[in-house]
Amino acid sequence: MTDLSASPFVRQNLVAERAAPTKTTGFIGFLRTRLLNSPGNILLTILGLLLAWYIVVPAVRFLLVDAVWTGKDRTACLAEKAGHEVGACWPYIQAKLAQLIYGFYPEAQRWRVNLTYALGAALLLPLLMPRLPAKGLNSGLFFFAFPVVAFFLLHGGGISGFGVSWIAGLLQLFEQSIGGAGDLLVNLSRSSAIAPLLWVVGKVLVLVGVLIHWLIFPLTWLRDQLQASSLPVWGDFLVTAVIVSAVMFVLGGGVRTGRRALLGSLLTFAGIAVGIKLMGLDHGGFPIVDTRLWGGLLVTLVIAITGIVASMPIGIALALGRRSTIPLIRIFSIAFIEFWRGVPLITVLFFATYMLPLFVPGNFAVDGLLRALIGVAIFTGAYMAEVIRGGLAAVARGQAEAASALGLSWWKTTSLIVLPQALRYVIPGIVNSFISLFKDTSLVSIVALFDLLGSLRASFSDPVWTTPTTAFTGFAFAGMIYFVFCFGMSRYSLFVENRLNAHRRH
């Protein structure tokens, strides 16, 4: 038995403090846990530091310490003249800077390029900041108004008509093509085994052509009247504005609810009128600068931005087509997407450069830059379709079901419920496609367009600046431009992704 009466042991003095645990945070902690915690790791650290040392030191020496900063021509960048080993030849970049940014764009007109850059930046930056309001207006301006304005600013030239003339012209072309096909079939039917069938189809097509001719007669008549008047552009503009606004008013719900649509339409046309007046499009616009003179960063940005803007509608249409329940449309979309995704971009550019001109009527001369743009847009559109399809699949099925339970049609369900959510999900994916598109624009230098890389390559052959370090300097400069753009965009994409996944973070 234990002696209960004995007093229990009570400790009288404090236990000596234990030493603090080894620090695992901060720089010292990092050193202890990640760099020097075992002999093997110490060895790896030393090896890594040596590797970094042998890359960083020569790079800094080349770019800054040994670099030549001023000079008139190649002699400044030669080792004999400088008296030491020569690094980067920066005067070469100074001399070629204009060529790398504008190409051969006439010097007096370069303010137009700068203005376009400024407009684009002013519209794009607010679009990228999620906090700022009016995303709808902003994206409308950037995706629809900006490309048109940029075209007239960069390329120059004016317009000779407006909506009525353009639509009349297009319909007339369509009518001629249908009639031509009908005549061809009727002619073929003379020497064919299935002659009656061909004859009938041909006659039907001819009849359709004639029908279209009479259907569009009011439009063509109006066009002729307008073209004969003293102010063709403004007359046409007015007629188009009145017709479109009236249609919007009626479609928007007439007197009861159509006021908003009417107001929107009128404001849009007012904006267009201001644009036409400011750029003087009704009397010729700016002097035309042929696209063969464009070059450098200008071409890179034009192709990248046109590519992404044009690929959005193509991608959306193909993605919806691929999910469609109508067999023919689905099969066509799948075949189209898989075809263009399966071939390298350079063959697409060759296709656009060599084959496309053969596919359009001989009297349409397709501009070299436009050909590349078409190729890039189709190619990016196919990739974009897959990105958007991912977004469409991510929208919960119940959303579309709820919409059809409310009685919305397929078009309304898609455009009001499904697509807005899907596009929100795929913003990071779109930015990633834009990054790869931006990098891929360098390929156009192979089909004789002078983008940033093409201009750089062309500048190497200038005998005034041939030195041993010219090529390295040029690549260092262009590499910095590419890196800043691509790295910035990839960080932005990460930022959006984190924002979208905010609710999922632990």
Q: Which is nearer to another protein, 48 or 218 (CB)?
A: 48
Is the distance from CB of 271 to CB of 241 less than 8 angstroms? no
Site string for another protein, 142-181 (x = CB under 8 A): -----------------------------------xx-xx
**Shortest Å, Cβ 461 to another protein:** 10
- Cβ-Cβ contacts under 8 Å for 199 (sequence gap 6 or more): 185, 186, 189
**Shortest Å, Cβ 37 to another protein:** 8
Cα atoms in the Cβ-side hemisphere of radius 13 Å centred on 418: 28
Residue 307 DSSP code: H
- Cβ-Cβ contacts under 8 Å for 127 (sequence gap 6 or more): 135, 138, 139, 142
Residue 437 is a binding residue for another protein (CB under 8 A): no
Tokens of 322: 């691929």
User: What sign does the CA torsion over 314, 319, 324, 329 have?
Assistant: positive
**Contacting residue, 157, 266, 457, 500, with another protein by CB under 8 A:** 457
**Contacting residue, 121, 130, 483, 499, with another protein by CB under 8 A:** 483
**Contacting residue, 28, 132, 148, 184, with another protein by CB under 8 A:** 184
**Binding to another protein (CB under 8 A): which residues in 3-62?**
30, 34-35, 37, 41, 44-45, 48-49, 51-52
Is the distance from CB of 223 to CB of 165 less than 8 angstroms? yes
Residue 468 is a binding residue for another protein (CB under 8 A): yes
Cα 318 to the chain's mean position, in Å?
17
Near another protein by CB under 8 A, which window of 130-138, 320-328, 376-384, 393-401?
A: 320-328
Q: Between the CA of residue 93 and those of 19, 66, 277, what are the distances in Å?
A: 60, 16, 39
**Shortest Å, Cβ 405 to another protein:** 18
Q: Which is nearer to another protein, 225 or 490 (CB)?
A: 490
- Cβ-Cβ contacts under 8 Å for 106 (sequence gap 6 or more): 289, 293
CA distance linking residue 204 with residue 182, whole number of Å: 7
**Shortest Å, Cβ 353 to another protein:** 9
**Contacting residue, 145, 317, 400, 446, with another protein by CB under 8 A:** 446
Residue 439 is a binding residue for another protein (CB under 8 A): yes
Q: Which is nearer to another protein, 49 or 246 (CB)?
A: 49
Q: Which is nearer to another protein, 337 or 388 (CB)?
A: 337
Residue 350 is a binding residue for another protein (CB under 8 A): yes
Site string for another protein, 354-383 (x = CB under 8 A): xx-xxxxxx---------------------
Q: Which is nearer to another protein, 34 or 260 (CB)?
A: 34
How many helices and strands in the chain, by DSSP H and E?
24, 0
Angle at 236 between CA 231 and CA 241, to 5 degrees: 130
- 3-state SS, residue 419: helix
Is the distance from CB of 89 to CB of 473 less than 8 angstroms? yes
Tokens of 347: 């063959």
**Would you tell me which residues interact with another protein (CB under 8 A)?**
30, 34-35, 37, 41, 44-45, 48-49, 51-52, 177-178, 180-181, 184, 325-329, 332, 338-339, 341-347, 350-351, 354-355, 357-362, 435, 439-443, 445-446, 453, 457, 460, 468, 471-472, 475, 478-479, 482-483, 486-487, 490
